[in-house]
Structure 1
Amino acid sequence: MPLTDIGILHQDPHFLIVDKPTLLLSVPGRAEDNKDCLITRLQENGWPEARIVHRLDWETSGLLVIARNADSHRELSRQFHDRETEKTYIALCWGHPAEDSGRIDLPLAYDPPNKPRHKVDFEHGRPSQTLWRVIERHQDHCRVELTPITGRSHQLRVHMLALGHPLLGDRLYAHEQALAACPRLALHAAMLGIRHPVSGEFLRFVSPAPF
């Protein structure tokens, strides 16, 4: 498959920074018709050595770092595991939070009866924290900056839902009005900060939200 809308923001012998479009898997899915994905497209179009370090949901767009060798993969993966990276997302959420910023601290767990949904689960959930800040307020929604402290599946989407403000265009969690308010999931990984796996220099990369 061609790269098709995958932006290459940075490349050196150790890693790539790519901009993933919405409606593209980060890695192959289990079903045969889910084999097309970002990492496969990179491997087939000039970077056969590309290795996934972290993921974005199918509908989420934005920045990913891709390792180009085993040593870089090990070091970059360590940075994510040890929470040494910086990640900021831009989203559109339904309604208006009473405050302008806050912290969500709610444990999350997979919800098998409603797969692939996740849910707040105080008994079995894993600790999950998100910082949020309102950037702009519009008539029926607002633009927010989301900073995940932890990195759970669907964390930002479930946390904003729990706050009472589901993300626009979210086919898994939004109510009818919020779903109809945007033609795609309004969630974009807009800033990624990592340390260069060899030099140790801290680098920040930015991708403006397409909504």
Structure 2
Amino acid sequence: MPNLYGILTEKYGRIFVVHRLDKETSGVICFAKNEEAHSDLSEKFEEHDVNKVYLALITGHLRNKEGRIDIPLSENPKIPGTMRVDYDAGKRSITEYKVLEEFENYSLVEARPLTGRMHQIRVHFKAIGHPLAIDSVYGNKNEIFLSEIKKKYKAKEDEPEKPLMSRLTLHALKLGFFHFRKKEYIEFEAKLARF
């Protein structure tokens, strides 16, 4: 199965990866078409001079409907490819959030990572007791049913209820930065995928 990089390389020729999304995350991702753009964009990401907005469906309801999670993170030496909270040697990691909507057992939040650590949003919400609704690495569920969201939902008696979602509940909604050639702020948006 071809990946996005392969599809874009076939269409545009040589392209450059600027940043990555977790494999299961949907939404906006950025590639550069030339070395100059790649250098500029990579620097913006390293300096945290990029506005990133994610939508996350998390478990439970947050006491504060807006806030900032400021918890240091480091790579987890016991489980390669994962992160952990590390108050001793972790790098400062900040995620701002705002609750957009609450459901029976879940909340839809807008998350803005001000730093760019791997799995930052996922680990931060787990650390405050509200992991993503579906997260095979940091959570404990693999699917969500409509009956868990709507109070009055009743499944048909003769059919088992089918999952409403069965993938990571994280979506990269917006990505914005100051364009080095156009000399203006530009923003890209990927509408929420159907879960």
TM-score higher than 0.5:
yes
Instruction: Note the C-alpha offset of 1:202.
Output: 0.6
Higher relative contact order (CA 8 A, sep 6+): 2
Report which of the two structures shows the higher radius of gyration computed on alpha carbons: 2
* Paired position in structure 1 for 2:154: none
Distance 2:15 2:115 in 1: 25
* Paired position in structure 2 for 1:76: 41
Confirm or deny: 8 A CA contact 2:143 2:167 kept in the other structure: no
Match of 2:97 among 132, 136, 144: 132
* Paired position in structure 1 for 2:14: 49
Aligned residues: 174
Instruction: Note the C-alpha offset of 1:41.
Output: 2.5
The one-character-per-residue Cα deviations of 1:118-175 (angstroms, maximum 9, x if unpaired) are: 1001112111000011000000001000000000000000000001111022000112
Question: What is the alpha-carbon root mean square deviation over aligned residues?
Answer: 1.3
Distance 1:95 1:167 in 2: 10
Instruction: Note the C-alpha offset of 1:209.
Output: 1.5
Q: TM-score, normalised by structure 1?
A: 0.78
Identity %: 39
Distance 1:70 1:116 in 2: 28
Alignment of 1:87-98 (within 5 A): 87-98=52-63
Match of 2:185 among 189, 202, 207: 202
Instruction: Note the C-alpha offset of 1:37.
Output: 3.3
Distance 2:176 2:39 in 1: 17
Distance 1:200 1:72 in 2: 13
The one-character-per-residue Cα deviations of 1:3-42 (angstroms, maximum 9, x if unpaired) are: xxxxxxxxxxxxxxxxxxxxxxxxxxxxxxxxx5322221
Tell me the amino acid that sits aligned with residue 141 of structure 1: Y
Q: Which runs of 5+ in 2 are unaligned?
A: 145-164
1:123 aligns with 2:88: yes
Instruction: Note the C-alpha offset of 1:115.
Output: 2.5
* Paired position in structure 2 for 1:180: 143
Alignment of 1:9-48 (within 5 A): 37-44=3-10, 46-48=11-13
3-state DSSP class of the match of 2:173? Answer: strand
Distance 1:170 1:94 in 2: 11
Instruction: Note the C-alpha offset of 1:64.
Output: 1.4
Match of 2:175 among 161, 183, 192: 192
Instruction: Note the C-alpha offset of 1:195.
Output: 1.9
Q: TM-score, normalised by structure 2?
A: 0.85
Confirm or deny: 8 A CA contact 2:53 2:172 kept in the other structure: yes
Q: Which runs of 5+ in 1 are unaligned?
A: 2-35
